[in-house]
Structure 1
Amino acid sequence: LAGGTLEPVVGDLYPRRPESANIELHSGYIERILGIRMSEAEVVRILEALEFKVATKQEIYQVQVPAHRQDVRIPADLVEELVRIHGYNRLPPTRLADELPPQRENFKLNGVEKVRDLLVGAGLDEVITYSLNSPVDEAKLRLQPDVSQITQIGLLNPLSQERSHLRQTLLVGLLQTARENLRLLSRIQIFEVGSVFLPQEGETLPTEPRRIATLLTGPRQVDAWHPDQATTGYDFYDIKGRLEILLEGLHLQSEISWRQSDSSPYHPGRCACLHLGGEMLGYIGELHPKIRSEFSLPEQPFCVAELDLDLLLNQWQQAHQMHEISGFTPIYEDLAVVVNQDLPVAQVLNEIEQAGRPLLKQTTLFDVYTGEQVAADKKSLAFALTFQANDRTLKDKDVQKIRQKIVCRLEQACDAQLRS
């Protein structure tokens, strides 16, 4: 049909004649590998049945491999042939001769997995981005038009300009991932755990501290019935809540201090820095509109955070000391105070908890008011207080003493006034 013709086969072509292999096999080696002792007659019978030529001398087998068995070249190959014919099912089950080495936990790995589980439980999806990026993207993140000021470590022979330097932040990868996925999804909730690479002065290799970064954008509720809920996007407090879930799961929420900040690449006035044990833990906030535009992202809030994972896990302890659960009835009271407009709520909350110990079990801010009933430079803070003892039922006079102590502490430390 196609005009083809059948050509005679000349023969197979080899570069040279295959060399015959001679292998020396010790009977002790067979016993050490298989755990059983095979008789000389059994070894010779199996090998000769497989077309091997065998000569024995003082428990040493000189085996000549046939030309068609190019896969047999070392003693272990011969042992495999022996056990294959002998039968794996005939090998007796035995226990390990040596004791198991002491088992030690990998606390570093356990900590990373704990962080992953907590963030997934908070509704975030984990992503893994490239460890290589472009200095142009790093410059965009820092609003630096001069790329030469970026101190990233470059590759000698990069495959592309987009993957030419080691990253110094996880945020570039998260922003690029969000940009690509927003073409198909309306809401993005992602996080990444990975290393960044920071140059060391006088050293060839960089340090590789681990970071954890998160990103939220899109509507808070995708399938909401009410239109106002469907159009309400994530803001600073949404990502702050996700981090509070993480810190609470690691039992570090009481060790964290939140402070207002205006660091790049965050929006001024919508950014906070976190401190743990007197050290900088990281930043959290809404992405700056200019940086959002540089990465060709849609005009909607992008809430991001990046924390020092090594510092976080160094303070974390797997064995957490639990507190006794009281079986006595708690007493609930509200407390409203008027303070200066610029006074952080965290400072007021800390003073209340310090003055109310040990009977004050929980303090929750439930209202912040500014308006006609307070001065223009003041604000009203309302707290829900929970008092409880482990050894008795508290009476009103017990709570009244603690409440008065809290009010006096707030008047002295925060210049607060009890709101009538």
Structure 2
Amino acid sequence: MTPFLLLLALAATPAQEETTAPTRIEDLALEFSPPALEGLRAALRPGGQLRARWTGRREGRDLALSLFGLPRREWRLGDPAVVLARVAEQQRFEGGLGRHPFDRSGLLAGPFGTLPVAGWAEAGAVPGPDGRARSLVVLCGLGRDEAWVLQVELAPPAPAEDLGELRRLLAAGLRYLGETEDPRWTDEEARARWERDRPEDLQGRLRIERTDHYLILTNSSSGRTFGRKMEEAWERIRSTYPFPDLPGRKLLPVFLFRTKEEYVSFYAAIAGIDREQAARSKGHAWRDYYATFYDAPGDPVHIHEATHQIFRNRLGLSGGGSWFQEGVAEYLSTTANERRAWARRAARDGTYTPFRDFVGIPSLLRSAGGERNVRGGSVAGGHYLQAASIIAFLRESDFGAERFPDFLREVGSVRGGEDEVEAAIRRVYGCSLPELEREWVEFWRRRR
């Protein structure tokens, strides 16, 4: 990942000029009126990632406000939630934070970019590069070629109500002046995406179906039926892992091929893998899309892969390791009886992988040469069920349920191995991985 600097020393200001009028940042197509500050000073920096900077004082605190432009295509920034995830990741890196940097986050509707949605986040107190604690308020949105990030640093830290008021002032002073895009995709956009990614020898004409949340690109006559199934999956996923659902976000693309052979050709070409490996898959979610073929609309692979797609493109949670990503997906694509039968036997007989080893497995799918959709005796199939049983335990037990949303955010944003995962578990549940394992064993031994 190309680094960008979001933590700036409050004292480090370039040559500046006094300003009170709204500032237009032409290359981001933004106009911004900063909140009232004592000694407000501004500096524009065309080019580079830092585009503008304002400094001053507000209610006895030093305030530095910075505006950045980040490349959308290069960094695959297709939604404000994805932008926020990149900002959070960089804050952890630059600030040396073990935990997720933000205390609160969400979405705002309004004229903030090519799509009428902005992301926001607040941090009560995080360390800065000079060692001083400070508060952060972040807004972000999408321009045509770049995402924009507006960040405020306050030192000393401010209470939550002050940060909320500052966020509202920032949003009120921001206006996007550029071209907008159709969140439901124009037919021209949809055809261009299909032509860019489809196999060259594909037969059948493109059919375009739109649902509330999905763009179905297919050469099958079953796109409408499949779209209804995807919406059912969406509702189940959102009820299990709640996330904001504002209108105006880009429909998530789904490639639905008529035959498995067509799907295999697509998967092998776009992922750069051989056809034999691609043929083991019934569907896959990658980047912003989900791809599959029309066979059985009720196959659990669809909600499994839809969960991956949503975690990356709506929740902005693409970390945690294979066990976490497969666990949250497998929890929805297995039944309670499947999870209970496997976990009770494993907890009783000790036939599971110790947690510290388990969270370090790079890929559950390749952990024993098994296939994702094969259950039963394969080691990989057991690993998938173990991952699902951990999510079930944390979501459903007295031990884990209350802090489960914190678990999703903390672990889902971790980049690293078992040490980083264990540190996140300690922050949320106050225990080590072996201690969590003992709680899991006791839960499933008692479960009826």
| Larger helix percent | 2
Structure of larger gyration radius? 1
Task: Report the TM-score when normalising by structure 2.
Answer: 0.23
